[in-house]
Amino acid sequence: MTLGPDFVRARTARHRRLPEIGDGGAARLAAARVAVVGAGGLGSTVIPYLAAAGVGRIDVFDDDVVELSNLNRQIIHSVERIGQPKIDSAVAAGQRIAPEVEVVGHRVRLGDNFADVVGAVSPDIIVDGSDSFDTRFVVDAGAAQLGVPVVFGALMQWSAQITVFDAAGVYGPAVRLTDVFPDTAETRATPGCAEMGILGSVAGMVGTMLATETVKLITGAGRTLTGRMLIVDTLDMTTSEIPLAPAQEDQPIPVAALNETQIEDATVVDVRRTDEITEHPAPLDVVHVPFDQLDTFVPQPGRRIVTLCRTGPRSVKAAQRLAAAGHDVVGYLDGGVHALEESPHAAPSESSL
């Protein structure tokens, strides 16, 4: 099988169809580097899903070997690998799913060497899948020194805590692990899975959440868990949220809903994917800028902007984003292409960047 661009595009086709990711987001994933600390219960799910998402390079740090008691939750390992380094299973799992992704194992115990060892691979994001506060405090200090955000998960029995720590304040409030859990002997003595037990599927569920948060940070999609901690109780199947920083209210710029008679002398920006436009061309002149590539759009000087999508929701967000970037946005076409197709006034015509 040839691992060329067509292979990668076909393998990642389903998440490329998401308007929040698209080809632009897929390119950012392919260019990203993620360091995963721990190839245990959380890492066993994080690593394959990051590889499946097409993250360009995944560096896994773990000095442990596979034990029989790991196998209720650490699903990348097997009975045949008992006694072997966990990083071997981690590398094999990632490459089995996404052979174009570079998965590198580092059999090393992290401590005062963190900034040197992890910093050497220049990660964009660190995923903390460790199982003790001793290691978590090491990760926190090292990530703060490197200025890299930490996607954090902690397991206990049927429950879990998930958040994103970002000491540099690049992705949200500048909150660190030590702002939530003081580095004390009492905190470090908190029992782990070996003492308290853990249901394997809980580890898998939380690992997928960590992978999702990582993808969101890389692509800029959605709202991440920076500044807030998600508490999951699977025994009662409930979730709750704890604020870790003062609430930051989003105040989107108001945009007007327009019809086709109100867009004269404006540039209509079609934010749909290319395959959507092929299937349903807009019945008027447009400039094609996929939603995931809006930050690259440079409008003609003096031209007002109207956004367009299939039915409306994406064009609202696109109009708000372009307005926030300082462009002269008039509004969005209410009802999108679907409404235009019902109109007798517009003639089919389309141009693209």
pLDDT score recorded for residue 158? 95
Distance CA 314, CA 345 (A): 23
Q: Is 23 helix (H, G, I), strand (E, B) or coil?
A: helix
DSSP code of residue 40? S
Domain extent listing, the chain: 5-243, 256-341
pLDDT score recorded for residue 351? 38
**CATH superfamily of the domain spanning 5-243:** NAD(P)-binding Rossmann-like Domain (3.40.50.720)
Please check whether the domain covering 256-341 is classified as CATH 3.40.250.10. yes
Q: Which helix (H) or strand (E) holds 324?
A: helix 313-324
Residues whose CB falls within 8 Å of the CB of residue 322, separated by 6 or more in sequence, listed in order: 269, 294, 297, 305, 307, 329
pLDDT score recorded for residue 233? 96
pLDDT digits (tens, 9 = 90+) for 325-341: 889 999 998 888 888 87
Residues whose CB falls within 8 Å of the CB of residue 167, separated by 6 or more in sequence, listed in order: 140, 143, 144, 147, 149, 174, 175, 176
| Catalytic residue, candidates 87, 90, 139, 193 | 193
Neighbours of 134 (CB within 10 A): 13
End-to-end CA distance of the chain: 34
Active-site residue, 309 included? no
pLDDT score recorded for residue 350? 40
pLDDT score recorded for residue 3? 74
What SS3 string covers 104-157? EEECCCCCCCHHHHHHCCCCCEEEECCCCHHHHHHHHHHHHHHCCCEEEEEEEE
pLDDT score recorded for residue 247? 64
Low pLDDT (below 70) residues in the chain? 1-2, 247-252, 343-353
Parallel/antiparallel/unpaired status of strands 150-156 and 125-128: parallel
